[in-house]
Structures are given as C-alpha cells and as structure tokens.
Amino acid sequence: MSKYSVKPNLSVNFAGIHSPNPFWLASAPPTNTGEQIMRAFDAGWGGAVWKTMGAQVTNTSSRYSSINWGGQRMMGFSNIELISDRPLDVNLRELAEVKKRYPKQALIASLMVESTREAWHTVVQQAEDAGADGLELNFGCPHGMSERGMGSAVGQVPEYAEMITAWVKEKARTPVIVKLTPNITDIREVARAAKRGGADALAAINTINSITGIDLDTLMPQPNVDGRSSHGGYSGPAVKPIALNMVQQVMSDPEAMLPLSGIGGIAAWKDAAEFILLGSGTVQVCTAVMRFGYRIVEDMIDGLENWMCEKGFHSIEDFRGLSLPKVTEWKDLNLNYKVVAHIDEAKCIGCGLCYTACWDGAHQCIHVDRVSGAVNGPIELHAKPTEVEAASRSSITVTPIPKLDGDIARQPYVTPLARIPRVDETECVGCNLCSLVCPVDACITMVEVKTHLPAETWEERSAACLTGESC
C-alpha cells in the first residue's frame, strides 16, 4: 500500500518548461505535422518535439530498415530520413496553431540550419514567435545533414557545439536544449561544451550510425534506394543499453550535468522509469510510436503511476536520479563479494540450456549427474557433455498427466531428477550466464555466499600488493 493516499503527480518542470507528464514525442516522423501532434496530445502525451525544421531538403524512397530478433519485429530500426521536407513557414504556422489549442502541453521546436550566427538568430526568433516553449538544437543527425556541415558534424566537435549554442543563447528567450550524438568517443565532451555555451538542458541520445543488413539474394544493403544504400540512424529497443550508459555518464559528470531528456529505445513505462532513475527529467519516444501508435502512452502513464504508488513515490522528483550513486567504475567494485547459481528443482523443465551455456560459454560448473536417467546404465559423475548427450537420448521428458500417470505422486518434481542439472558451488564463479539463458522465471537465482572477508576494491588490492601486505 502506498504511503500516499492520492494519485502520484506526473507533472514535470524541465529546465523551466512545464509538462503534465514526462512522456514526450521525439523529433521524428510522428511529429511531422500539427495534425499529428494534436492527435498525440489527445492520446495523453505530455509534450512533443517538432520534427526538425530548417534547411529545405528532399528525402529518399525508401528510407527505413529494421532488425527482427526472436520473433520480435523492429527490435532495431534504422532510417536515412532527413529533417522535415515541409516548408519552414508551414511548420511554424502549424506550431502556432497547436500551441494555441494545447497550451498546457510542452511544445519544443527542433532546429537545424547552416552554421552562421545570422541563420541561427533568424530561425530562433521565428520559432519563438510561433509560440515554442523551448528550442532543441539538433547536433546529432548522423546522415545526410552531416555532409552539409550540420547535425553530427557539429555534435562531434565540441568547439562547434559550444559556438552555436552560444549564438542561440544570444537570441533565445526560451530554454535551449542541445541534442547530443552518440557517434563520438566520449559524449561528455560535447555535453560540457554545450554547458559552456550556455545550454539550459540536454537531450540524449540521437541515433547511432548503422547498416542493418544485406539481402543475401540481391546482395543489396538495406534500405534500397535505386540500387544503392547508405548508413542510417539506429534506434529502437536494441539501443536502450547504450543510451542508458550515456545518460549515466553525462548525469554523473558535474561539468556536463544539466536537466536531461532521455532518448533511446523507450517503449514502455519500465524503460521510462529506468531513464528517470538515472537522472532524466523527461523521456522522448519515437520508434515505439512508429510501430504501435500514439496510444501506447496510456499504458506508459498507468504503469508509471502504479509503480510509483507501490514504491511510495509521490512525484517524478522523488525518484529521479536515485540509481546514479549505484553506478561506479569497475575498479571500485568489491572483489570479495561472491554469488553462486541456485537451481529451483520444482521449477526446472529440464531443457538443458543452462548446462550447455555453462560448459560451452562459461566455467563448466553445471553438471547433469544427480541420478541415472539412462536405459543403458547410470550417467557417470562429472560426465562430459558428449557422454551426457548420448545417455540422454535414451530418455524423454514428458508432461505428467495425473489421470493417466498413477505414480505421479511418487515423483518429487515435475521434471525427472535425471534431467535437472546441479551446480557445483565450489566451481561456480557467479557469472550469471545460466540465469540469463534460463527460459523459466526465477528458476535459477544468484545467491550470495558469505566470504567473511572485508570489502576490497581492485585499487585497494593493488595498493596492498605494492606495500607487500598481500596480493
């Protein structure tokens, strides 16, 4: 039961921009027109970043490709689409109309123009005069625009990012958000530069350089544009771990840290919660909307509210950044902490995935040698995988049916013991691979083993070695 008797408050104040909830649409095809954004606001989105406006462009046909994995479509999604190909004056006119009709939602203008002070001053004034609540500077587009000296061509050079941000701040009356590219050695360098230039906030990450695949019949990389292709920007669930890492890097660096809008693979409320726990003030969504539509925000809002109630969080600020102190460098981890794998025999289905993974990909500490399960004799203790395979072929695990299998009550587990692996804890290094490949929730868990040793980091151990205390 929540300690709060009222519904959690999802409203946010992001760098001075007010929004009824932290869920924003990212600058992308779902925010290409005013009509789209108004439908999104009707569905419940708290804000939207207009598809990047600026230089006139012509897009290609086709322009999308994707990676499917394990039956899931669009696990990774790539595009070679440029910024808005609609006239700037049309976009600005529609932006003004949306803001007039939806004054409570956050409406951000994403901008990209040639790298001159005059061009940026002009477009900034136009966007703000149209009613934009804030400006997002697109320093991240990895294709097309970068060849023109814009997008990631700016975001990969800290000096350029700082200079243009400063130009914008000379003119801007609303908060300035700098959108960062992940296609860089250290994202913190450009974040620091944007902060020096006067940025009010950051957005991270933009899409990642990618080629999603090649058609092995035609030998054609995807997407196909009249027999040729190009690298694109990668997004979708596959990029979330990369995005989370970069958000953590920026938000843990005092020289880079600013209010940050998290982007990258967000498709559900859990994803949003993870970004907020690492310091994000809002989250932006694109690929999931392109697949499922605007109404996914309904589940996002409900899910986040329910989780906040369970945890006793009344507002977004109650849990924003709480996970940041839990991330450290490897050298600061406790080398004397130990866990081992534990298999719940009552849940095991005898699939053998953990056994194969441990023997072929880890540390050979899972064995199938509890009892005999073979017609031709018992399986020897610590049998090799090839021997176990030969013996196992003579037995088949079947689903027990009580009315047909009268002796079912005499079986301790659903799966015969011969099929249930065991863990040799003296050999287990606690790598966690077995629990990751196991298809049954909570069947394999990692259990702490008390070493009765004080916590010790790599740096402490190295220092002890140098002083001759111990190694």
Return the active site residues: 141
Neighbours of 129 (CB within 10 A): 11
CA-closest candidate to residue 429, choices 335, 293, 305 = 335
Q: Where are the beta strands (DSSP E) in 45-145?
A: 47-54, 64-69, 72-79, 106-112, 134-138
Q: Tokens for 296, please give them.
A: 């996914």
Assign 231 to helix, strand or coil.
coil
d(CA 287, CA 75): 10
Residue 231: burial class (beta carbons within 10 Å; 0-12, 13-18, 19+): middle
H or E element, residue 24:
strand 23-25
Contacts of 326 (CB under 8 A, 6+ apart): none
Phi, psi of 75 (to 5 degrees): -60, -40
d(CA 392, CA 126): 73
Q: From residue 148, give the alpha-carbon distance in Å to each of 54, 131, 185, 273, 398.
A: 13, 28, 22, 37, 64
Q: Tokens for 103, please give them.
A: 């004054």
| Contact by Cβ (8 Å): 192, 256 | yes
Length of the chain: 471
CA-closest candidate to residue 266, choices 307, 303, 231 = 303
| Contact by Cβ (8 Å): 260, 251 | yes
Neighbours of 43 (CB within 10 A): 16
- CA angle at 342 for the pair 338 and 344, rounded to the nearest 5°: 160
d(CA 374, CA 396): 10
Assign 44 to helix, strand or coil.
coil
d(CA 24, CA 83): 18
Q: Work out whether strand 134-138 and strand 220-221 pair parallel, antiparallel, or are unpaired.
A: unpaired
